[in-house]
Amino acid sequence: MAVFTVGFIFTAILLTRGLIVLFPVTPGKIPLDKIPTSWILLVFLDQFHNFFLVNTDLLPFELRPLFYRCLGTKMGRNVRIGGFIADPSLVTLGDNANLGGRCALTCHVVEGKSVSLGTIKIGKNALVGAAAMIGPFVEIGEGAVIGGGSLVTKGTIIPPGEIWAGNPARCLRKRET
């Protein structure tokens, strides 16, 4: 079973990484009738990885940073990932960033007759709570905290050191240092 699991994970990483290198994902707006086949395949592989490897805990918590780094996520040292990342090549995580269990970082959103692809940047020492959802074009500042189950909507910029929570997320207060 262990050999199968390692082989499965390795194959999934190679296939996805190859597609990312050949067809890089870039931020922007794409009409639904002009979505590249390569991006559709990448989204399918993302969902496949997230469902079979991350959500089933087949991929151990300790290996998730390495897994997402291999899929193109830019990250600092000592990052912890308890949730999943869609469109990992558009995500940047700072040193000591902590993503709680079952949280979701999604760099795309369908709006009317188009798909918007945007980056997500999470600063150093930031914490995203369990089951929180982070949308595209979001920046979370250094030391900021996002409460569990919160929804950070498209384009939100969270300043360093603030605590946000809710649906949609709003600033509750400045973090004590």
User: Which active-site residues does the annotation give?
Assistant: 108
Cα of 175 vs its chain's centroid, Å: 24
- For 104-135, the DSSP string reads EEE-EEEETTEEEE--EEE-TT-EE-TT-EE-
Spatial distance between the Cα atoms of 137 and 147, rounded to a whole number of angstroms: 19
- 2-22 vs 37-49: helix crossing angle, rounded to 10: 150
Spatial distance between the Cα atoms of 137 and 118, rounded to a whole number of angstroms: 5
Spatial distance between the Cα atoms of 168 and 73, rounded to a whole number of angstroms: 25
- The helix/strand/coil state of 93 is strand
Cα of 33 vs its chain's centroid, Å: 25
